[in-house]
Structure 1
């Protein structure tokens, strides 16, 4: 008589955590957030330069309905009509509106995440929960700064009136992000120190 086959042993599937609920499995989406003027662009530019030779780290170039010559970050300028077409076609992994502009994170990041890369994106805190729910493992780097330093930075860049600066400072004081996936980055010291903190948050 033939011996009966030995039954295979299977383990019960583990329950996914809130920050890793979907494909991609191995990648990490690093979301840099913080009130306007805390220096996110400067920190991201510095981290990009520091990690330029690391193919496992990708920095997102956002679509923004703002002319290229308007200054600020290196972005892909699009018209509002173009933005809406891209958004409707599913060309953005994340999209939002803020201060009269439209912002989009290209869906190309999904492939980078699926390949296990670390993708760094400057986003609005309003899309954090959406990213946590849909885009796999997430780490949120919440950048803050002393209100007086923040006010001076806003004055130096010359985009806002005194009333608008006061409003931004009030909102910055109330700015708060919570979660086990949040890394606090206090950008009160020199530029190099802030960049080093962000690099550590990305690769750590």
Structure 2
């Protein structure tokens, strides 16, 4: 049986990295789950998730040769989930990945079974978190907050509202992952 691709999605600043790190720690001893490391065209010291930094040229070469099971561009960066994750899924392991709302239809059409966990938070919290991480200009922050409101995830299989302590969000995410 093919393991599920569990895409955790939500707007910038919603706390996906924090919740995913906590869920990864909580599920560390469970061989039924693996947490994907994405390739990103972002420097390694830019903050946020642990990722494999790649140049745009390298990313384009990998994508062009079918090296990603799913890839997309957002906010001036390119993101990819390596095709090697498919071998794990074929062995029955569920792959948990920080995904993109823009790829959900494609993922569901080509990578079944796919489960989507949408992380949400109030706009005021998104703005505060984006300001605190210090990676975006005020105009970029406002664009990300506007994009969050304009693009809700209606097709989610589960939702986690991350508006309280991180431990509550982590507990809810772990439950959603296990239910997938």
Smaller-chain TM-score bracket: over 0.9
Residue matched to 1:28: 4
TM-score (norm 1): 0.84
Q: Secondary structure at the match of 1:113?
A: helix
Q: Secondary structure at the match of 2:95?
A: strand
Residue matched to 2:126: 150
Query: C-alpha displacement at 1:186, in angstroms?
Result: 0.5
Residue matched to 1:61: 37
Unmatched segments (≥5 aa) in structure 1:
1-24
Equivalent residue for 1:123, pick from 96, 99, 102:
99
Confirm or deny that 1:193 pairs with 2:178: no
Q: Secondary structure at the match of 2:17?
A: helix
Residue matched to 2:90: 114
Task: Report the structure number with the largest CA radius of gyration.
Answer: 1
Q: Distance in 2 between matches of 1:167 and 1:83?
A: 25
Q: Distance in 1 between matches of 2:168 and 2:111?
A: 30
Residue matched to 2:178: 203
Q: Distance in 2 between matches of 1:186 and 1:203?
A: 17
Residue matched to 2:54: 78
Query: C-alpha displacement at 1:177, in angstroms?
Result: 1.6
Query: Aligned pairs, how many?
Result: 179
TM-score (norm 2): 0.95
Unmatched segments (≥5 aa) in structure 2:
none
